[in-house]
């Protein structure tokens, strides 16, 4: 008898998909089988609407050892017999329902993805989005998420070294919590997840299984929110960072023992996804007896055991006859390691409950959900927002007050109150700490090398032009890594969008991916891992389309690293990239200035990827030649904010060149279109970096920029106790630092 619509809704399957399951099986599925299909065919696990689009992303490169889609995370070679393993994932809906545990288990889950590759996790980053802080519920979500990240990460002993926090009304009902983890791997220690050898043993290690997280992948992460999301609290997992800490050590010891054939974490869809994915990758089958699975709650059914998303669990594929040494390892770490089944050669997923067979399905249909390609439709609002009139240019005398207001904006203000709650120095490898530079930098022990990492995205830009928003997210992540002096190696992406069954949302998704792909190709940086988070809607309203991109780069010499703050009195300050002082109104598109000061999200953002590639290559070359003292990306708030932030971080003022006074008469004299002083100071044109260098090196920096085809402009010099720029801004450094340092706390206090 066909199942009810209520049942299908609970596991996020359509009636058409149920009919397809019946067709593939040649019969009606039983309850356990249907639950497994619902989980594996969910958007969260099956990527039904996004997988065809993800093929646009370049995933190969000379340093790539494991590309996107092959395993749990991407792997890139950094030489000296070492590789870096990294990935970013979302835990958006769980964090909306239960912010502390949602964020905490998001951290735990991404750590296990890295662990499953045999790598030691060495760093965490996060990208967070919330509604505006004038709303009490948004403040509750913000506080809960930050507490969850710090509560889990600080206990587990992995430094949280970077990230971003942003606020906009569109995230009010659906915050974004994207977690990134980076690990290091030695030659010969890479673990795979494919179960290739029949007769191998399935061992479940770590925590006992409970009822938390059931339907997390299908019921929570793969549908939009209505009015009843509070009822979904039981679908949110509960984390135990202390258990995960010892699980990391035990799994790494097991991986090095030679007794493991493969390893997989239990994340979304729990035992179902982990076992079926291992079999699918290995072209084999699995037999699991749920009666053997250790449980922490009485009376659990086979359905609940197979779909539980209880945390801190891993599935080990152990070579036949070598179970005892693995059990001994976990016993030494006071962890359980239980044989629950075996790998078979018949291509079936056979689930037993003692002597009873409760499910028997071919691996192929389970692991091959339908793929959908919608007909994209360009959103109607784009034309209106692209053609919207700019607000009236304020009087030039307001420039200083506007700079202070922008520095105090929660999107620009210092996030010290957030990252001071994270332990960013544990493991003692952190060379550039949160807030000090555009990217975090970690030493690679035993070598002279370091790695830089950053995560970036801007939902406003993608909302106004999805293609440009995707390209700009990838470009900015790489630019921030380059600002640290590192050569970008590879990317990971987390694509946060609304309901893909809506043609306008599908357009946003497709165009943003195309933008990331074009940027990755232009910069020569492959995308080696990632995650797609769809159905981010509440009350019928989608979030801003928010592609978030993480980048990892390599410094061959850790001593060449750069930070963002000005360093020495008298240093020359230059602008590399597009000429900000043209005052082109188009640079205001999607800017924090328009949003925060004028309450407008309008314009058509764009990026010149060829120029971007030249700017980044130049930055790396200048850093390697030790010609720079600092580098800071012009991003939110534009040129004036970038200069002010470098001064604040360095604790020293800035004196602008008198020739830079950007009056309209000067702009006209230069033969350019009618410019605006507010666009010159606060516009957010891409591909621009404020750098400082020793006065004697300024000519060499300018010469190299010219040879590289990168515009360069002398902005001024480091010194004094004020920040003066272009005859429009002349503010005490202390006042700017106070606005920047207290803006977020003031917003949180209402």
Please identify every residue annotated as catalytic.
44, 91
What are the backbone dihedrals phi and psi of residue 544, each rounded to the nearest 5 degrees, phi first? -55, 140
Contacts of 454 (CB under 8 A, 6+ apart): 125, 162, 438, 439, 440, 477, 480, 481, 484, 550, 551
Q: Name the helix (H) or strand (E) containing 663.
A: none
Handedness of CA 662, 666, 670, 672 (dihedral sign): positive
The phi-psi region of residue 279 (left if phi > 0; otherwise alpha if psi is between -120 and 50; otherwise beta) is alpha
CB atoms < 10 A from the CB of 215, how many? 23
List the one residue out of 698, 694, 427 whose CA is nearest residue 567: 694
What are the backbone dihedrals phi and psi of residue 447, each rounded to the nearest 5 degrees, phi first? -135, 175
Alpha carbon distances (Å) from 421 to 151, 153, 424, 544, 746: 9, 10, 9, 28, 18
DSSP-assigned letters across all residues of 560-612: G--BSS--STT-EEEEEES-GGG--GGGGTT-HHHHHHH----S-----HHHH
> Which of helix, strand or coil describes residue 477?
helix
Q: Report the alpha-carbon angle 101-69-99, nearest 5.
A: 10
Contact between 210 and 297 under an 8 Å Cβ cutoff? The reply is: yes
Kindly state the tokens that stand for 623.
Answer: 């850093």
Strands 546-555 and 487-496: antiparallel
Order across the sheet with 450-456: list the strands. Answer: 430-432, 440-443, 450-456, 546-555, 487-496, 527-533
Alpha carbon distances (Å) from 308 to 8, 225, 245, 289: 18, 21, 21, 15
**What's the rounded Cα separation, in Å, for the pair 254 and 275?**
19
Kindly state the tokens that stand for 588.
Answer: 């205001």
**What's the rounded Cα separation, in Å, for the pair 686 and 694?**
26
User: What is the four-CA torsion angle of 156, 161, 162, 166, rounded to 10 degrees?
Assistant: 50
**What's the rounded Cα separation, in Å, for the pair 121 and 111?**
7
Residues paired with residue 83 on neighbouring β-strands, in sequence order = 77, 185
**What's the rounded Cα separation, in Å, for the pair 59 and 517?**
9
C-alpha of 351 from chain center: 35
> Which of helix, strand or coil describes residue 110?
helix
CA atoms lying within 13 Å on the CB side of residue 651 = 1
C-alpha of 260 from chain center: 30
Instruction: State the angle between helix axes of 609-624 and 698-708 in degrees (0 to 180), rounded to the nearest 10.
Output: 140
Kindly state the tokens that stand for 715.
Answer: 């902005």
CA atoms lying within 13 Å on the CB side of residue 379 = 23
Burial of 375 (0-12, 13-18, 19+ CB in 10 A): exposed
**What's the rounded Cα separation, in Å, for the pair 83 and 143?**
35
């Amino acid at each position: 008898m066909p199942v009810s619509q209520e049942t299908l809704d609970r596991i996020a399957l359509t009636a058409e998909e149920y009919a397809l399951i019946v067709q593939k099986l040649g019969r009606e599925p039983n309850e356990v089988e249907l639950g497994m299909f619902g989980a594996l065919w969910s958007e969260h696990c099956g990527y039904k609407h996004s997988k065809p689009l993800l093929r646009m992303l370049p995933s190969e490169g000379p340093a790539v050892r494991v590309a996107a889609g092959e395993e749990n995370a991407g792997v890139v070679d950094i030489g000296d017999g070492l590789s870096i393993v990294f990935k970013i994932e979302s835990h958006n809906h769980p964090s909306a329902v239960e912010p502390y545990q949602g964020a905490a288990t998001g951290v735990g889950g991404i750590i296990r993805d890295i662990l499953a590759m045999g790598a030691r996790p060495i760093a965490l980053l996060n990208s967070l989005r919330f509604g505006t802080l004038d709303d009490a519920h948004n403040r509750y979500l913000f506080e809960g998420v930050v507490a969850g990240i710090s509560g889990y990460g600080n206990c587990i002993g992995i430094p949280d070294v970077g990230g971003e926090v942003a606020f906009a009304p569109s995230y009010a009902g659906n915050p974004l919590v994207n977690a990134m983890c980076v690990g290091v791997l030695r030659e010969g220690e890479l673990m795979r997840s494919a179960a290739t050898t029949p007769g191998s043993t399935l061992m479940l290690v770590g925590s006992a299984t409970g009822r938390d997280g059931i339907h997390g992948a299908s019921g929570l992460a793969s549908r939009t929110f209505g009015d009843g999301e509070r009822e979904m609290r039981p679908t949110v997992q509960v984390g135990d960072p202390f258990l995960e800490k010892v699980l990391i050590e035990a799994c790494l010891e097991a991986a090095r023992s030679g007794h493991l054939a493969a390893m997989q974490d239990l994340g979304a869809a729990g035992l179902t996804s982990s076992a079926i994915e291992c079999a699918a990758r290995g072209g084999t089958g699995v037999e699991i007896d749920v009666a053997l699975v250790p449980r922490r709650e009485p009376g659990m059914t086979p359905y609940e055991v197979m779909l539980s998303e209880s945390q801190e669990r891993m599935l080990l594929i152990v070579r036949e006859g070598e179970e005892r040494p693995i059990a001994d390892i976990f016993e030494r770490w006071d962890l359980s390691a239980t044989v629950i089944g075996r790998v078979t050669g018949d291509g079936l997923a056979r689930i037993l409950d003692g002597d009873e067979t409760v499910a028997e399905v071919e691996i192929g249909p389970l692991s091959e959900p339908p793929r959908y390609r919608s007909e994209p439709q360009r959103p109607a609002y784009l034309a209106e927002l692209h053609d919207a009139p700019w607000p009236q240019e304020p009087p030039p005398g307001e420039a200083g007050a506007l700079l202070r207001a922008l520095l105090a904006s929660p999107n620009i203000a210092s996030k010290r109150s957030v990252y001071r709650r994270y332990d960013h120095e544990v493991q003692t490898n952190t060379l550039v700490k949160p807030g000090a530079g555009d990217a975090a930098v970690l030493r690679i022990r035993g070598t002279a090398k370091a790695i830089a990492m950053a995560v970036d995205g801007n939902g406003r830009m993608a909302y106004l032009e999805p293609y440009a928003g995707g390209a700009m997210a990838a470009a900015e992540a790489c630019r921030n890594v380059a600002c640290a002096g590192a050569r970008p190696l590879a990317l990971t992406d987390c694509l946060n969008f609304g309901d893909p069954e809506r043609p306008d949302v599908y357009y946003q998704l497709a165009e943003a991916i195309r933008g990331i792909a074009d940027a990755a190709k232009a910069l020569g940086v492959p995308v080696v891992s990632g995650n797609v988070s769809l159905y981010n809607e509440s009350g019928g309203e989608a979030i801003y389309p928010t592609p978030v991109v993480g980048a990892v780069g390599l410094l061959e010499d850790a001593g060449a690293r750069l930070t963002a703050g000005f360093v020495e009195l008298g240093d020359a300050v230059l602008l590399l990239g597009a000429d900000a002082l043209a005052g082109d109104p188009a640079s205001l598109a999607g800017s924090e200035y328009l949003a925060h000061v004028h309450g407008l999200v309008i314009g058509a953002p764009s990026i010149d990827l060829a120029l971007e590639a030249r700017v980044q290559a130049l930055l790396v070359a200048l850093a390697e030649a030790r010609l720079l003292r600092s580098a800071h990306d012009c991003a939110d708030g534009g040129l004036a904010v970038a200069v002010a932030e470098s001064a604040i971080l360095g604790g020293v003022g800035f004196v602008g060149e008198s020739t830079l006074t950007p009056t309209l008469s000067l702009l006209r004299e230069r033969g350019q279109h009618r410019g605006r002083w507010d666009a010159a100071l606060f516009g957010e044109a891409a591909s621009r970096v404020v750098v400082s260098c020793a006065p004697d090196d300024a000519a060499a920096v300018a010469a190299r920029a010219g040879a590289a085809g990168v515009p360069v402009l002398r902005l001024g010099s480091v010194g004094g106790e004020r920040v003066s720029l272009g005859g429009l801004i002349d503010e005490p450094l202390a006042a700017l630092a106070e606005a920047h340092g207290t803006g977020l706390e003031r917003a949180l206090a209402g």
